[in-house]
Amino acid sequence: MKFGLSAVSLFSGAGGMDVGFEQAGFNVLFANDIDEAACQSYNLNHSIKSHCGDLRSFTDEISKFKGVDVVFGGPPCQGFSVAGKMDPDDERSQLLWSYLDTVELLQPKAFICENVKALAVNSRWSNVRERFFDKAASLGYKTAMLVLNAADYGVPQARERMFIVGLKSDDSSISNNSLLNDLSIELANQQNSPESIADLIRRLGPAGSEGNSKVCSAVITYAKKPVLRKSPYAGMLFNGAGRPINSFGIALTLPASMGGNKTPIVDEDEIFNGKDSYVAGYHKSLMQGTPPKQGYAPDCLRRITVDEALAIQTFPSNYKLAGSQSAMFRQIGNAVPCELARVVAVSLSSVMNKHSGSLAAA
């Protein structure tokens, strides 16, 4: 039997956020997602089975967990993302309210709602934020909104995400501001530097090796009209949206659209053979006015593998994924980095323990 805080997971995907919460000592009792491949992946790695389908069709099953300690999850973000159409009428945007409906149903002691940074900072969504906070307050929750960069917490990826944390308390001395302060202190104590992409890939081995076998075969060709930026790792030197990664730095946000030419690029010669960066050299020549090359890029450049993408998202090394390769990349890109989820879960657990005498029961 597991002990510790209990939790219900919503919009669970392949289970990245669940991994972090479980590592933090939470006992996840229920999980759900609408993506069949993601549910299959979840089931391969967790002790419970993910309920596959529309969250709104599982009200009876979920209601059994009324009074659970924590509800967590990230409603689909495409409706709010700057990478999407930012359409407030997008059906997926409405799932934010389905999330709150579940909080209202279960009355947990606390909740964590994860989403894209744009929902927290873009003026277009100010009315959505206000509505969310008003609804949470009407249910008895103090709330705090944080924007966290996964790279600050040991994740080798510059991935900024929003977290709204709610705490159900009947203690009038606990305010939204004091909750934010408590969480910020806990999070500051857990900051950690990530490993470089080169170290991560050397740990896994060359693409195609036993520990790094799920190779992405999407070709890399030179852009006929390169878009140049100051950094070799910005702009567009090659066709497609998959930009090169600085081997001795960290990755940019991994998108759910990986698997084709939107998959990031690495330089194996630089990583394994100590050669100078081909990308940096090519970028320098372009900046000096040399005409762009045409055709295929050299073999030392390749797309990152599924295994590398999993590691960048800090999934356990033995994590299994179901579905086609594109489905695997989609699941990885949609996930909350496991280590970031663990840090947030530990921080919430500490704050809940601090206020354990005043947390309102369902």
List active site positions: 77
Please give the backbone phi and psi of residue 221, each rounded to the nearest 5 degrees, phi first: -125, 155
| Largest distance between two CA atoms of the chain | 69
DSSP string, 72-103: EE----TTT-TTTT--TT-GGGGHHHHHHHHH
At 258, list the tokens. 């990986």
For 153, the 3-state DSSP assignment is strand
Residue among 310, 193, 305, 298 at smallest CA distance from 242:
305
Contact 351, 167 (CB under 8 A): yes
Residue among 244, 249, 246, 288 at smallest CA distance from 263:
244
Count of other CB atoms within 10 angstroms of residue 64: 11
Residues in contact with 225: Cβ distance below 8 Å, sequence separation at least 6, in sequence order: 292
DSSP H helical ranges for 107-209? 117-121, 126-138, 176-188, 197-204
